[in-house]
Structure 1
Amino acid sequence: MKGQNSKELIIVGGGIGGLAAAIGASEAGQKVQVLEQAPEFGEIGAGLQLAPNAMAVLDRFGLTTEIDKYAVYPNRLVLRDAQTGEELSALDLGEEFKKKYGHPYIVMHRSDLHKVLLEACEADKNITLTTNAMIQEVDLRDENVKVVNQAGEDFEADYVIGADGLWSTTRQYVQKDEAVCSEYVAYRGTIPMEEISNEANLEDVIMWIGPNLHLVQYPVRRKELYNQVAVFKTYNYKPDSEDWGTPEELDRRFRDCCSTVKRAVEFINKARRWPMYDRLPIENWINGRMMLLGDAAHPMLQYLAQGACQALEDASCFADVLKEKGSENMEEVFKAVQKERQPRTALVQTRARTWGEILHAEDSITSLLRDSILKEREPNDFSHVDWLYSYFSEQKNSSVKESS
C-alpha cells in the first residue's frame, strides 16, 4: 500500500533536466512528483547555449513563446585566437542554418530557462513540486520504490527517475563510480551591458581559444546582460582540495592573451570557481524501477554546450516512448529510452572531451594544424555539427520514409 506522499512517478531533482522530464511525463498523461533538495526551485550559473536539438524540444512542449521573452539570437558562433585576436572560423546561424535544422540557435541565462520550465510545471495539474527534499536513501523494492529525504520523510512511487545532476545521489544505485576531474576550472558570470567594453561583440557567440584556456562571451536576457566564462587548466591540481584553480592562476594563465581578452577577464567574477568534472559513459541507466536521465546519467564537459540540450532530448524521448508503451509498461519504457539515448549521449560525452583537447592544444604543431583546418572552413559548412544538431530532423525524415 502506498503512503501519504505516494505518486505514480517521482523525479529526483528539480533542475532543467528534472523539470523537462516532468513536462514530458505529463504530456504522456503521467502524474509525477518532482523532489528538489533546495528550499526553492532555482538555478545558479550564468549563460546557456541552446542549439536546434534543444529548441526542437522546447517547441514541442509549447514553450518557445515564453523562451522568446528572454532569448538572444546570435548571428554566428565564432572561434578566435586568444593570443593574437585573429578570427579562426565561424558558423553562420542565419536562415540557411535554421532551414536545415528546423530551429534557431539561441543563448539565454540559465535561470531564465529554468523559470520557463518551472512555470510550465506549476501550471500543470499532473505535476506536484516539492522542495526541501534532499534525498538520502533509495529503497528499490519489488512492488514500488521508496525515497527518504534528510528529515526522514518517505516518498513512495511506482517508479523513480534520478535527474539529480553530476553529483547524483541516485546514480550510486545504478553505477558505483566517481566523477572525473578535468583539472580545468571555470569562472563565470554576467555583467550589466553598460559596464562592458566598447569592443564587445553583441551579435555573436565568441570563443577565444589558447593553450590550456578559453574565454566565451555572448549577451543574454534580451541583451541586457553580457555573459562571460573564463576556463583554464590549473597549474597545481590537488585532489580533495580547494587550493587550485585560484583567481591568481586565472590572471596568470590569461596574461599572455591579446588586450581584448585580458580586459574581458578583468570583469570576470572571481568570487566563485567551478571545477570542471564529468563521468565516463555507462551502458546501463536502470536499476529495477529506477532510471537515470540528464546529467545523472551522462554528465559531460561543457565544450560542446550540450549538457542541457541532451537533458531536453532525454525528456522528449521519454515522452514519446511513454505515449507509445503506456505507464503500465514503465519498465519497458525505461529500457526503450535507454536503448535510444545511451549511444547518443555517450558519443556527445566522448566528443566533448576530444573537442576540449583540440581547443586547448598546447603543442604548437597541433595548434597550427587545428588552425589551418578551421581557416579552410566556410561559415555555411555544417558538416562538422550535423551529427549533433540534426537529431530530430533525421528522426522526422526517417519517419516519413517509413510511412511512405
Structure 2
Amino acid sequence: MTNVSDIIIVGGGIGGLAAALSIQETGKSIAVFEQAPEFGEIGAGIQLAPNALEVLDRLGVKEEIVKYAVFPKRLVLKDVYTAKELAILDLGEGFQKEYGQPYIVLHRSDLHRVLYEACQKRGNIQFFTNQAIQTAEQNGDTVTIVNQNDETFSGEAVIGADGVKSKLRKLFIDDEPVNSAYVAYRGAIPLEEIAHGTNLDLDDVIMWIGPNLHMVQYPVRRGELYNQVVVFKSYDATLEDWGTPEEMARRFENSHPKVQNALNYINRQFRWKMYDREPIENWTKGNITLLGDSGHAMLQYLAQGGVQALEDAFVLGEELKRHNSYEEAFKAYQEVRLPRASMVQRSARKWGETIHAVDPLTVLLRDRLFEQHKPTDYHNVDFLYGYFNKNYQRVDS
C-alpha cells in the first residue's frame, strides 16, 4: 500500500480538477487519480452560466478561461419546424448586472486544460493516470483505494468524482444509471466549413425544439469553431444498437431547412447515450464523499451538469477550511449540496419533458407561456443563476 497524499480525488474531469484547485487552498496535499492514459476532455462545447463563472473567478482561473470563450447575446428557443422564435433570454448588461457574471460558451477541452494547468502550478497536487479505481475503504483515520490491478493507495480522505458510471457511488447505494432513451450527437467543427453559404447566427445560443428532439448551436473557441448538439429520443431504447443515425434522420424529418442543413455537418460516428441518476439521500460516510456526476448525474437540458460540479468543488473547499475533521466537513458539504443538486437533477428532467412535449395541446399551451416571457425577465432562471451569490456572498479582502 502506497500513501500518496492527504486527500485522494478519484476522477480527473472538470469536477475533480476544480475540487483539487479549491481544496489545495487548505494546504492539504492532493492526489488526482484518472482512469484515462492522460488528462484531457472529450466532447464539444459547454455552456457556463454565472454560477459557474463565480466559482471559476474565486478559484483564480476565470481570466484565463474567458480568453477562449464566446459571450452570447441571447439564449433563443426556436420551433424546429417553423424557425419561429418561441422564447428569448437576454444575456446583456442587465443580465450581468443581475448575477454579477456573464454567460459564456467554450470548448470543454479548453476549460479542462485551463483547470489542469492551474493545478499543475500548485505544488501540493500530483496526478496519476491509467488508474481505474474500483472501490475505497476506511480503516480508522486512513482511507484506501484499489485500482484495476489490485494495487492500493491510501490517504486521509477520498472524494469520488468518477462520473455517471461511478464505482465509488456503490459505497452508498447499489443503483444503476437511468436510461433516458435519448441520445446525443455532438461536435465542434471549423466555422468556415459550415458557414459557407449558410446564414448562421453567431451572436446567440440557439436551441431548436420539437417533439422528442432538440438541437443546440453556438460558436466556441473565440468563434473559430461552431458547436452543434443533436438530441433525440430513440424509437426503441431496449435494442442493443439504439439511437442510430437512421433514427436521427427519421426524427428530424420535415424539420426546418436550416436544421436539415445543420444535420449534414453532424459526425455520425460518435454518439452519447444519455443517462442520469436518481437523487439519493446520502453520499457521505466518514472520510469519503462524492462530487459531481458520481453523486448527482443529470440530463444536459439545463446545461448545469458541469456547473453543479463546480459548485460542489467550491463548497467542499470552503467546508474543509471551516471544519477540523474531514467527517465534519463532508457532512456540512453534503447538507448544503445534496438538496441543491437533487433539485437541479429533477428540474433538468422536467425541462426535458417541456421542450420535448409531443401532445399538440401541451405544445400549444407551452408556446403561449413562452410568448408571455419577456427577454429581460430572469425570474424563471434565478433559482439556477442567482443561487450562488445569494448563498455565498463574496467577501473581498
The bucket for the TM-score relative to the shorter chain is: over 0.9
* Counterpart amino acid of residue 220 in structure 1: V
Determine the C-alpha separation between the residues in 2 that align with 1:111 and 1:399. Answer: 31
Residue 396 and residue 179 in structure 1: after superposition, are their counterparts in 2 closer, same or farther (change >3 A)? closer
Determine the C-alpha separation between the residues in 2 that align with 1:51 and 1:23. Answer: 20
| Residue deviations 1:202-237 (CA, integer Å, cap 9, x gap) | 110000000000000000001000000000000111
Determine the C-alpha separation between the residues in 1 that align with 2:150 and 2:2. Answer: 14
* Cα deviation, residue 342, structure 1: 0.6
Moved more, 385-394 or 214-223: 385-394
Instruction: Say whether 1:379 aligns with 2:375.
Output: yes
* Cα deviation, residue 392, structure 1: 2.0
Determine the C-alpha separation between the residues in 1 that align with 2:211 and 2:86. Answer: 15
* Counterpart amino acid of residue 288 in structure 1: G
Question: What residue number does 1:283 align with?
Answer: 281
Question: What residue number does 2:334 align with?
Answer: 338
* Cα deviation, residue 266, structure 1: 1.1
* Cα deviation, residue 288, structure 1: 2.3
* Cα deviation, residue 398, structure 1: 10
Q: State TM-score, norm by structure 1.
A: 0.95
Query: How many residue pairs get matched?
Result: 394
* Counterpart amino acid of residue 173 in structure 1: L
What are the equivalent positions in structure 2 for 1:30-49 lying under 5 Å apart? Answer: 30-49=28-47
What are the equivalent positions in structure 2 for 1:174-185 lying under 5 Å apart? Answer: 174-185=172-183
Question: What residue number does 1:134 align with?
Answer: 132
Determine the C-alpha separation between the residues in 2 that align with 1:143 and 1:320. Answer: 21
* Cα deviation, residue 261, structure 1: 0.6
Determine the C-alpha separation between the residues in 1 that align with 2:106 and 2:347. Answer: 24
Residue 236 and residue 115 in structure 1: after superposition, are their counterparts in 2 closer, same or farther (change >3 A)? same
| Residue deviations 1:51-99 (CA, integer Å, cap 9, x gap) | 0000000000111121022111000000000011100111000011001
* Cα deviation, residue 151, structure 1: 2.5
* Cα deviation, residue 150, structure 1: 1.6
Question: What residue number does 2:55 align with?
Answer: 57
Question: What residue number does 2:267 align with?
Answer: 269
Question: What residue number does 1:235 align with?
Answer: 235
CA contact (8 A) 2:285 2:327 kept: no
Residue 24 and residue 396 in structure 1: after superposition, are their counterparts in 2 closer, same or farther (change >3 A)? closer
* Cα deviation, residue 141, structure 1: 1.9
Question: What residue number does 2:187 align with?
Answer: 189
Instruction: Say whether 1:219 aligns with 2:203.
Output: no
Determine the C-alpha separation between the residues in 2 that align with 1:340 and 1:287. Answer: 15
SS in 2 for 1:132: coil
* Cα deviation, residue 391, structure 1: 1.4
* Counterpart amino acid of residue 234 in structure 2: T
SS in 2 for 1:378: coil
* Cα deviation, residue 28, structure 1: 2.1
* Cα deviation, residue 386, structure 1: 0.4
Determine the C-alpha separation between the residues in 1 that align with 2:368 and 2:95. Answer: 24
Determine the C-alpha separation between the residues in 2 that align with 1:110 and 1:264. Answer: 21
What are the equivalent positions in structure 2 for 1:87-102 lying under 5 Å apart? Answer: 87-102=85-100
SS in 1 for 2:55: helix
* Cα deviation, residue 152, structure 1: 2.6
Determine the C-alpha separation between the residues in 1 that align with 2:362 and 2:393. Answer: 38
Question: What residue number does 1:249 align with?
Answer: 247
* Cα deviation, residue 124, structure 1: 0.6
* Cα deviation, residue 399, structure 1: 8.7
SS in 2 for 1:379: coil
Determine the C-alpha separation between the residues in 2 that align with 1:4 and 1:396. Answer: 37
Determine the C-alpha separation between the residues in 1 that align with 2:143 and 2:62. Answer: 35
| Residue deviations 1:230-252 (CA, integer Å, cap 9, x gap) | 0000011116x2x1110010111
SS in 2 for 1:21: helix
Structure 2 unaligned blocks of 5 or more? none
Residue 26 and residue 399 in structure 1: after superposition, are their counterparts in 2 closer, same or farther (change >3 A)? closer
Structure 1 unaligned blocks of 5 or more? none
Question: What residue number does 2:161 align with?
Answer: 163
Residue 396 and residue 131 in structure 1: after superposition, are their counterparts in 2 closer, same or farther (change >3 A)? closer
Question: What residue number does 2:205 align with?
Answer: 205
Instruction: Say whether 1:364 aligns with 2:360.
Output: yes
CA contact (8 A) 2:293 2:305 kept: yes
* Cα deviation, residue 137, structure 1: 2.9
- Equivalent residue for 2:152, pick from 150, 154, 158: 154
Determine the C-alpha separation between the residues in 2 that align with 1:54 and 1:396. Answer: 13
Q: State TM-score, norm by structure 2.
A: 0.97
| Residue deviations 1:317-356 (CA, integer Å, cap 9, x gap) | 0111111114xx1100000000000110000000000000
Determine the C-alpha separation between the residues in 1 that align with 2:84 and 2:46. Answer: 25
Determine the C-alpha separation between the residues in 1 that align with 2:81 and 2:26. Answer: 51
Determine the C-alpha separation between the residues in 2 that align with 1:20 and 1:143. Answer: 25
Determine the C-alpha separation between the residues in 1 that align with 2:278 and 2:392. Answer: 30
| Residue deviations 1:13-38 (CA, integer Å, cap 9, x gap) | 00000001111110222211100011
CA contact (8 A) 2:6 2:29 kept: yes
CA contact (8 A) 2:158 2:288 kept: yes
* Cα deviation, residue 396, structure 1: 4.6
What's the C-alpha RMSD, in Å, of the aligned pairs?
Answer: 1.4
Determine the C-alpha separation between the residues in 2 that align with 1:143 and 1:62. Answer: 32
SS in 2 for 1:385: helix
